[in-house]
Structure 1
């Protein structure tokens, strides 16, 4: 609820304004001196100030209000301030309005005019604050894009912007990072950004997919093995930790690491030391570990499948990568990137692709775009080019058409001169979906 601060030495004025504003669902606080008003502004979130111009007895110059006005502006430059006075000084009114006063009203005031002014000012200020926030976000994004290596990451959503900000920030440290998120969302790309912007960016960057390693070879892959350590080991094998010495090791699908491998990994993270399989010689390395998982490691800890002490070693900093369905602002930029912006999306395809849940995330979208590049023959990308199954398309259409009103349908039909295919294109749905909606409303075909 928006809170309004009234600063007026007249108790009756404060009471009258408080009753008026509270009836119209504003929160109100009042005080009787500029000094007290400054204290309130320093402690509370205020959306608008109504400020009297005179506070001392028999004073009509307005200088006290003028001084208070400039102090408030110095504290909060964007805060709307309505000046209220029984003694109007036109020259001072012009000066203060030019200096940012929202309005200059005479006592007695017009209730309706005051209410309209307050509502408009609060709404305008909120709009300006949103615009300023978006502008700051854009400036920060431009700054990061200009100064950081984002490894070609394509995104538009604010959730990804926050994640990228964090990734670039933590890259400069040497802390272990755990990237969580669903398969295909881009966890490896975030790991690349961390490595590229770290102090180790000139060192090795070794990637290991733990989930793709056979259990019996996992430890030798990570820590190496001496000749004869196991059947088929006819020569010494250098592990990934040794290969990554002085750089970064990315362990994807860390939840699949065996318990014995987890114990060795914990030791490396604590001391930098390990032994190759079949050897008692201790090796020491300097490696930063970035890991990733789509599993619930806390649940795995409860089941005895993952070591709690290792989890906290890996999870010094956690970056949670959202699914593509949670950042749909990224879908169109990604499509444009994957299809090389070779032609535009049809309205129907755009509506469907933005309503699809993308369970396979960015990887699924990339595959769909590759399919479209191979099979599309039209001047625009069509929905069928992306290979969504009929069941998926019907589900999306069902959700979409529920939002269409009878007036929407009639307007589209009139604009298309009754041609069903044109009206469907205007609405961004298929002809079959439009027919079903027309049947629902009893619109004659």
Structure 2
């Protein structure tokens, strides 16, 4: 609870105020004159000062209190001060309030008005302290990341700041990095920052979403193919490794790569050599590999679905991107970024955004903001414009529209490839992931 310093030369006043504030749960210190108060402040941090204006017997001009107030403003400019007296001219009160005093309470005082004045002053101080902390952190952040390319990353949370510091530390190296995290959490953005701050920044950053590729085309996509290597291919095709030569290759959802493709990938990482499909010519490339997954690769290794030796190759360093619900401080800055200044969030809408679970993470937040921009008919976005399923029962009803058995059958029929199973079910891949999470179905 807040600590209040009461400065008054009247013992009866001190006792009354001490009792009043302690009953409200405040800690209370007392001083009977300015010198005692200033000495006390050197050893005891306080949150608010309630000071009298006259301290000598027969004194009624308020000059002593005025001098004390200006001393306090000089030495403790952020400390709220409430004035209290029965003998001060109105013009002096106006002067001191303009100079920064929170308020003025006349004696005899009304307990409720005094308590409300103190509560408001403490609340204002808390908000000001929070803003100063935010400004200080932002300044420190700007200094820490000066000269770095953050690729437009929007964040305010300590978790993302720590992740970004590690990312920038790894960027100049050639080490393979495995970026893990839930779908939509921002793994691709971390890969972009790794590349943009590396010695390869002027070379290509080639991105491949392994979850969106049919299994029979993955190897051709990665390593290329000669004309006639498979039906319909009439001319040679350059693979993503060749396209990324000298730069960086980012493989998203790497857990979907076939075992034969994993073997070829392991060889490239070990030797830099590979052959196109349908060719015996060995080619060499210089590529830094960045990988991402939302799956548990250690479980896939145990099930024989992912090579352990490849796992160690791609996982020299692992970066874990926290889910959006784990970094609530990022929600409102991201929302304002997605709204682009076109509309404002109401306080209630902002609260709802911060309280929502965000199973789809940053990608879902972006979609919600885009939808709100389209549907909101005023300049201020209200909770209704967000159309979030905040009621748990409504959320369950929305997610159980497809039976668990149907989802499991679709995944089995398509060898665990989520994108194909989602297409067969007539929903998006993200919608399928949300239903899998709802039913507790492990990601293949």
User: Would you call these one fold, judging by a TM-score over 0.5?
Assistant: yes
Gaps of 5+ in 2: 1-42, 44-129, 396-444
1:137-148 counterparts in 2 under 5 A?
A: 138-148=138-148
CA RMSD of aligned residues (A): 2.4
Gaps of 5+ in 1: 1-79, 81-129, 396-445
Cα offset, 1:140, TM superposition: 4.5
* C-alpha distance 382-148 of structure 1, shift in aligned 2 (>3 A): same
Distance, in Å, in 2 between the alignment partners of 1:138 and 1:385 is 31
* C-alpha distance 142-375 of structure 1, shift in aligned 2 (>3 A): same
Distance, in Å, in 2 between the alignment partners of 1:381 and 1:164 is 31
Secondary structure of the equivalent of 1:354?
helix
8 Å contact kept, 2:325–2:357:
yes
8 Å contact kept, 2:343–2:373:
no
Q: TM-score of the superposition, structure 2-length normalised?
A: 0.57
Distance, in Å, in 1 between the alignment partners of 2:131 and 2:377 is 41
2:221 is aligned with 1:242? no
Cα offset, 1:135, TM superposition: 8.6
Secondary structure of the equivalent of 1:249?
strand
Aligned to 1:386: 386
Secondary structure of the equivalent of 2:377?
coil
* C-alpha distance 394-345 of structure 1, shift in aligned 2 (>3 A): farther
8 Å contact kept, 1:255–1:293:
yes
8 Å contact kept, 2:356–2:390:
no
Distance, in Å, in 2 between the alignment partners of 1:267 and 1:144 is 38
Distance, in Å, in 2 between the alignment partners of 1:316 and 1:278 is 32
Aligned to 2:324: 324
Aligned to 1:224: 224
Aligned to 1:207: 207
Aligned to 2:291: 291
8 Å contact kept, 1:352–1:393:
no
2:302 is aligned with 1:302? yes
Distance, in Å, in 1 between the alignment partners of 2:136 and 2:263 is 45
Distance, in Å, in 1 between the alignment partners of 2:150 and 2:362 is 17
State the Cα deviation string for residues 228-286 of structure 1 (Å, max 9, x = none): 11111211111000010000000000000000000000010011000111111100000
Distance, in Å, in 2 between the alignment partners of 1:136 and 1:390 is 34
Distance, in Å, in 1 between the alignment partners of 2:272 and 2:345 is 52
Figure out how many residues of one structure are paired with residues of the other and give that number.
Answer: 268
Q: TM-score of the superposition, structure 1-length normalised?
A: 0.57
Cα offset, 1:393, TM superposition: 9.7
Secondary structure of the equivalent of 2:206?
strand
Cα offset, 1:144, TM superposition: 3.8
Secondary structure of the equivalent of 1:274?
strand
State the Cα deviation string for residues 96-151 of structure 1 (Å, max 9, x = none): xxxxxxxxxxxxxxxxxxxxxxxxxxxxxxxxxx9999898545421243211001
1:10-49 counterparts in 2 under 5 A?
A: none
* C-alpha distance 322-277 of structure 1, shift in aligned 2 (>3 A): same
8 Å contact kept, 1:184–1:362:
yes
Aligned to 1:122: none
Distance, in Å, in 2 between the alignment partners of 1:362 and 1:309 is 32
Aligned to 1:176: 176
Distance, in Å, in 1 between the alignment partners of 2:189 and 2:286 is 23
Secondary structure of the equivalent of 1:146?
coil
Secondary structure of the equivalent of 1:242?
helix
Distance, in Å, in 2 between the alignment partners of 1:392 and 1:189 is 31
Secondary structure of the equivalent of 1:353?
helix
Distance, in Å, in 1 between the alignment partners of 2:135 and 2:345 is 28
